[in-house]
């Protein structure tokens, strides 16, 4: 006899099955991929962009374009890692476009601290301090301290030198220390 948990596991498609079905145009597979991956991807996008609305746009754009993007996907490495790299690229492109338009985002980046240790007040203070960082600094802090990328990987993602990543990270930490001491 099979347990309910094992039946649910059998009904849950593998990543390879989802990818294949999305490539074939199956909307249910696209929906399943969305529900499986959108939450962590949205958290990453909010942390990078500092705006929930902008992050939601990035995630929506990602999944709308996913069937076409999967035609170019080479199945080496984890699917979720590939999705994360796309979200990072999309967020960076959006930030660059905002700089060209000189828009000011007024919404604070509070959701970035969802997994941060500490009480709610400390998390809110940290989120506000993070929102005050320049984009270049905030991105490096998110990628290094929260997402766990190395400075070498960050340099490759951002198209900068490794030491530039390290400098931005240390300057951001110093600004965060000063901001949090004031609060």
Is the full-model pTM beyond 0.85?
no
| CATH code at 1-107 | 1.10.1740.10
Average pLDDT, the chain: 83
Show Cβ contacts of residue 16 under 8 Å, excluding neighbours closer than 6 positions: 75
Higher local confidence (pLDDT), 132 or 109: 132
pLDDT at residue 9 tops 60: no
Q: What is the pLDDT at residue 183? A: 58
Q: What is the pLDDT of residues 65-102, one digit of tens each?
A: 999 999 888 888 899 999 999 999 999 999 888 776 54
Query: 109-183 sits in which CATH class?
Result: mainly alpha
Q: What is the pLDDT at residue 124? A: 79
- Residue 16's Cβ-count burial label (10 Å; 0-12, 13-18, 19+) is exposed
pLDDT at residue 104 tops 50: no
- Nearest partner of 33 among 80, 72, 69, judged by Cα: 80
Asked if residues 104 and 127 have their Cβ atoms less than 8 Å apart, the reply is no
Higher local confidence (pLDDT), 172 or 117: 172
Q: What is the pLDDT at residue 76? A: 81
pLDDT at residue 105 tops 60: no
Where are the chain's structural domains? 1-107, 109-183
Q: What is the pLDDT at residue 30? A: 95
Tokens matching residue 3: 């347990």
Q: What is the pLDDT at residue 100? A: 60
* Torsion, CA 63, CA 69, CA 71, CA 74, rounded to 10: -110
Q: What is the pLDDT at residue 117? A: 52
Q: What is the pLDDT of residues 11-48, one digit of tens each?
A: 788 999 999 999 999 999 999 999 999 999 999 999 99
The CA-CA-CA angle for residues 86, 84, 65, to 5°, reads 40
Q: What is the pLDDT at residue 41? A: 97
pLDDT at residue 121 tops 90: no
């Amino acid at each position: 006899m099979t347990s309910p948990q094992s039946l649910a596991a059998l009904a849950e498609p593998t990543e390879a099955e989802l990818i294949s079905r999305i490539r074939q145009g199956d909307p249910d597979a696209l929906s399943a991929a969305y529900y499986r991956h959108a939450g962590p991807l949205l958290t990453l996008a909010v942390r990078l962009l500092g705006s929930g609305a902008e992050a939601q746009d990035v995630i929506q754009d990602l999944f709308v374009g996913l069937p076409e993007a999967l035609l170019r996907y080479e199945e080496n490495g984890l699917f979720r890692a590939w999705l994360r790299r796309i979200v990072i690229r999309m967020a960076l492109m959006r930030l660059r476009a905002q700089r060209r338009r000189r828009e000011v985002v007024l919404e604070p980046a509070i959701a970035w601290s969802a997994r941060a240790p500490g009480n709610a007040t400390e998390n809110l203070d940290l989120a506000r301090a993070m929102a005050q960082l320049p984009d270049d600094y905030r991105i490096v802090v998110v990628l290094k301290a929260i997402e766990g990328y190395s400075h070498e990987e960050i340099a490759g993602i951002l198209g900068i030198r490794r030491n530039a990543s390290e400098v931005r990270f240390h300057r951001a930490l110093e600004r965060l220390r000063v901001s949090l001491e004031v609060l």
